[in-house]
Amino acid sequence: MKAQLTKMFLAAYGRAPEILAGAPGRIEFIGNHTDYNGGPVLGAAIDRGVWVALAGRADGQRRFTSDQRDGIVTLAPGDQAKREGSENWVNYPLGVLHALPVFGLRAPSGFDYLATSNLPAGAGLSSSAAIELASALVFAEAAGERPLRETLVKIGKHAENNFVGVPCGILDQGVSGFGEKNRLVFIDCRGPQFATVPLSTGAHFWIFNTHTKHALVDGLYAERHGECMAAAKALGVELLVDTNLAALEAAKPKLKPAVYRRAKHVLEEMARVEAAQNALAQDDLAAVGRLLTASHRSSQHGFENSTDELDFLVDALVTMPGVFGARLTGGGFGGAVMAMTGADFGDAQAQIIAEAYGKKFGTRPDILHALTGDGARLL
């Protein structure tokens, strides 16, 4: 990747880069909608991501280019304005520049910047977190700073929340920042606190991206968030992580049925994350797979954030030899399904699933095979 990055940078700017960094995309492994409820979540950094190259400039200009877009975006010294239209991708690194001083870190003044990615567009693998963390690494290095990994993660989240304007939790940046090959990232979202847990080298990930999205997805996210907060309030706690299923059952008569179902899903999902950790410690991928599928069924029937397309994929996948389990990955209401498989599940089996899906829905899902990968790093 170093040689490829250098070649691209030379072609764009006519000189070699001085600093290179990369950060991976991520999969939400298990822990659906537990993050904003203060609970735990497991994620996987994958072996695809975003890479950034940088070289300083003495004139204060900041120039940005990407292999995903045409042309170079040039910002005059002091220009802090958010970009619009075809230049809006620059808001991710620009947001990081804005965030650095918030965390007591210097930002470089002038530079040439190039980003490249091998993450498929729109696959829900959080290319946004990857570009934020890779950008934070090169910017900090250019300014002579070496932030802690926890700070790096918080810089990325701050950039996305406060500059880009997406109210994401800590999952995306946390997994991209703390990922390790053959390990999953565990996040206790109350802290947040980060740790890694071993994952068998025999585990493979297959992503089936439907490219479907519920027309009311933003409103439905907000509605689910509100129902969880309503349940917590009725139970006398700030967040659902501070209560338990027994208390929920005792309060069931005073809760709206939908609010009860949402809270039950979240509390059971928190327990599934803990159970998955225990199964991973025993290298019991079959048990982990059953938990993944149970997570999807709970999303399907309790949290009601699945779709016919996602359900079809899970139903088809769990009948296939070599598949340990499958679930929707991410917020739901469309998007992608993640299957954890053994090495004996390959492209031929994936194509069988895609063909069946195509016959049902008239269009085939995109397929991505991934393994775990290392987290954000200087190259």
DSSP string, 45-59: EEEEEEEEEEEE-SS
Q: What SS3 state is found at 151? A: helix
Q: Going by DSSP bridges, is the β-strand pair 111-117/62-66 parallel, antiparallel, or unpaired?
A: parallel
Alpha helices in 115-256 (DSSP H): 127-142, 149-159, 171-178, 217-234, 245-251
Residue 179 makes CB contacts below 8 A (sequence gap 6+) with 24, 26, 43, 44, 45, 46, 185, 196, 372, 373, 374, 375, 376
Direct distance between the N- and C-terminal alpha carbons of the chain, in angstroms, rounded to an integer: 9
The CA distance from 58 to 64, in Å, is 16
Q: What SS3 state is found at 23? A: strand
The CA distance from 143 to 222, in Å, is 39
pLDDT of residue 287: 97
Give me the torsion for CA of 91, 93, 96, 97, rounded to 10°.
-100
Count of all residues that appear for the chain in the document: 379
pTM for the model stands at: 0.90
The CA distance from 50 to 75, in Å, is 22
Kind plus residue range of the DSSP H or E element containing 351: helix 347-361
Residue 281 · residue 42 · CB < 8 Å: no
pLDDT of residue 56: 96
For residue 344, what are its two tokens?
């004996």
Going from the first residue of the chain to its last (379 residues), give the mean pLDDT of each consecutive group of 10, the final group possibly shorter.
94 97 95 93 95 96 92 90 90 96 96 93 80 98 95 95 84 94 94 92 93 74 92 97 97 96 98 97 96 98 95 97 95 91 96 97 95 95
pLDDT of residue 215: 63
Q: Is 26 exposed, middle or buried (0-12, 13-18, 19+ CB in 10 A)?
A: buried
Angle, vertex CA 27, rays to CA 345 and CA 258, nearest 5:
110
Structural domains in the chain, sorted by start = 2-27+40-198 (3.30.230.10), 204-370 (3.30.70.890)
Note if 79 is an active site residue.
Answer: no
Active-site residue identified among 59, 67, 112, 172? 172
pLDDT of residue 191: 85
DSSP code per residue over 255-315: S-HHHHHHHHHHHHHHHHHHHHHHHHHTT-HHHHHHHHHHHHHHIIIII----HHHHHHHH
